[in-house]
């Protein structure tokens, strides 16, 4: 995901029911993210879009200061009696020198206000905003005893159109290990659920984008951290091994899960048996790691790679598990069989 820290932070903060997100920025900055959320919610056929309250900095405020605007925005947010107010900022208040932390601290709703100083692009890229929001929100949870058999997912890409499909694939694999996701941090999880973050026995990161948050959370709660969702076919097997070990499962349980998964993969690949011996050209890698996933699938199906082969496109996203690989193979099949 491209964009500044504001988009990144909002892509996390807007998915917490019971919280109100205040953006201290000109209206246009918030419109960008709101518009993106709207587009993706429609794709996911979820028509409810979270509310983003904007302080609406104008040309006058950039001259005379915008702290009063933020204070008024907090007043309006507090009128909704939310469980939590999350405040994020664009580059404009940072540049004009607004003391946003002081405004948040002095507000009547201070005890339920979480200030995340994102500062638009001055705070980095969207990835940095995501990490800042994840780390900031993790302070809501206290360290606790871990509950065996539970895992927490960290940093799902809420603006990814196939976010639920990827979660379903990871859940399917975890089910083979008899593990349950108890916290999706932060995707449609209420404040009470977020506070349970310390009780999971292991954290699974969506991918390397949220590595900073993963390091911080792992350290604070003293839990093992799995670095990313499974990549392709062999990645799914490795994921079972790594997660099983991290959750303290016995070697037998892990071996049984791997055996079931191996059978599942065999069965799924049979659908593409008619692609065997096809020659394809994979072209350039649009996203790091996709080429390795594609080459593995190619080999498993008995296909070969050649510059003269039928051109098939590599996905511009990293295929998650078997289900992600299948989506890639459907596109290949279309190209090979139908031109």
Partner 1 sequence: MDERLCVNPVWPCAMTGACSVLAGISGINVLIHGSSGCYYYPRSLLKVPLFSTYLLESEIVFGTVNRLREVVSNLSTSNKPIAILNTCIPALTGDDLSGAFPGGEGIFVDAPGFIGNVEKGAKIAFDSLGIKTDPSREGVNIDGVSLLDLFWRGNLHEAERLLSQMGIRVAVRFAKDSYENLRQGAALHTISVNPSYPSGIGTMLGSFLFPDLKETCANLADAFPDSDTEPVLEEWKQAEEQIFYSADKYLRKYEPPVVAVCAQESYAVFAKTMMERYFGSEIPVILARNSDAVSIPCETDLTKITRHIADCSPDLILGSTFEANAYPNAAFLGITPPDRSRVSISARPIAGIEGGILFIENVLNTLIDKASLKQKTNK
Helices (H), 270-318: 290-300
**Residue 42 interacting with partner 1 (CB under 8 A):** yes
Residue of 17, 18, 38, 285 interacting with partner 1 (CB under 8 A): 38
Count interface residues toward partner 1 (CB under 8 A): 51
> In the bound complex, what is the minimum distance in angstroms from residue 160's beta carbon to partner 1?
15
Nearest residue (CB) to partner 1, 125 versus 300:
125
Supply φ then ψ for residue 97, to 5 degrees: 85, 25
Q: Enumerate residues 6+ apart whose C-beta is below 8 A from 247.
A: 148, 149, 151, 177, 179, 201, 202, 224
Phi-psi region of 124 (alpha: psi -120 to 50; beta: other; left: phi over 0): left
Nearest residue (CB) to partner 1, 73 versus 282:
73
Residue of 9, 16, 57, 88 interacting with partner 1 (CB under 8 A): 57
Per-residue tokens: 321: 């598990």
Residue of 9, 10, 19, 73 interacting with partner 1 (CB under 8 A): 73
Q: Are 279 and 303 in contact (CB under 8 A)?
A: yes
Q: Are 82 and 191 in contact (CB under 8 A)?
A: no
DSSP string spanning 44-95?
A: TT------EEE----HHHHHH-SHHHHHHHHHHHHTT--SEEEEEE-HHHHH
Residue of 100, 114, 126, 322 interacting with partner 1 (CB under 8 A): 126
With vertex at residue 52, the alpha carbon angle to CA 50 and CA 57, rounded to the nearest 5 degrees, is 170
Please state whether beta strands 19-24 and 84-89 pair in parallel, antiparallel, or not at all (unpaired): parallel
Nearest residue (CB) to partner 1, 164 versus 256:
164
**Residue 27 interacting with partner 1 (CB under 8 A):** yes
217 three-state secondary structure: helix
Partners of 56 in beta bridges: none
**Residue 76 interacting with partner 1 (CB under 8 A):** yes
Stretch that binds partner 1, among 1-9, 197-205, 253-261, 324-332 (CB under 8 A): 1-9
Nearest residue (CB) to partner 1, 44 versus 191:
44
Stretch that binds partner 1, among 39-47, 207-215, 282-290, 328-336 (CB under 8 A): 39-47
Contact pattern from residue 79 through residue 118 relative to partner 1, giving x for each residue in contact according to CB under 8 A and a dash for the rest: -----------xxx--xx----------------------
Residues that bind partner 1 (CB under 8 A): 2-7, 26-32, 34-35, 38-39, 41-43, 47-49, 51-59, 61-62, 69, 72-73, 75-76, 90-92, 95-96, 120-126
């Amino acid at each position: 995901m491209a964009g500044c820290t504001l988009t990144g932070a909002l892509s996390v903060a807007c998915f917490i029911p019971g919280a109100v997100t205040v953006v201290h920025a000109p209206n246009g900055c918030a419109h960008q993210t709101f518009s993106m959320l709207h587009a993706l919610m429609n794709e996911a056929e979820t028509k409810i879009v979270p509310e983003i309250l904007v302080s609406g900095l104008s040309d006058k405020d950039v001259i005379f200061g915008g702290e009063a605007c933020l204070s008024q925005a907090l007043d309006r947010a507090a009128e909704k009696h939310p469980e939590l107010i999350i405040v994020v900022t664009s580059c404009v208040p940072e540049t004009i020198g607004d003391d946003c932390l002081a405004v948040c601290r002095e507000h009547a709703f201070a005890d339920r206000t979480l200030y995340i100083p994102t500062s638009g692009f001055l705070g980095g890229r969207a990835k940095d905003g995501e990490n800042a929001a994840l780390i900031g929100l993790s302070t809501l949870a206290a360290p606790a005893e871990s509950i065996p058999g539970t895992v927490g997912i960290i940093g799902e890409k809420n603006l990814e159109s196939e976010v639920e499909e990827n979660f379903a694939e990871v859940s399917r694999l975890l089910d083979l290990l008899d593990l349950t996701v108890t916290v999706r941090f932060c995707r449609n999880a209420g404040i009470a659920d977020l506070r349970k973050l310390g009780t999971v026995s292991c954290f699974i990161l969506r991918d390397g984008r949220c590595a900073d948050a993963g390091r911080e959370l792992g350290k604070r709660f003293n839990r093992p951290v799995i670095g990313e969702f499974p990549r392709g076919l062999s990645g799914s097997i490795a994921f079972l091994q790594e997660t099983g070990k991290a959750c303290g499962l016995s070697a037998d349980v892990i071996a049984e899960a791997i055996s079931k998964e191996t059978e599942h993969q065999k069965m799924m690949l049979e659908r593409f048996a008619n692609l065997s011996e096809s020659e394809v050209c994979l072209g350039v890698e649009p996203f790091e790691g996709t080429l390795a996933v594609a080459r593995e699938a190619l080999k498993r199906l008995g296909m070969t790679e050649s510059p003269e082969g039928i051109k098939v496109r590599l996905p511009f996203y990293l295929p998650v598990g078997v289900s992600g690989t299948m989506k890639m193979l459907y596109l290949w099949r279309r190209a090979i069989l139908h031109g």
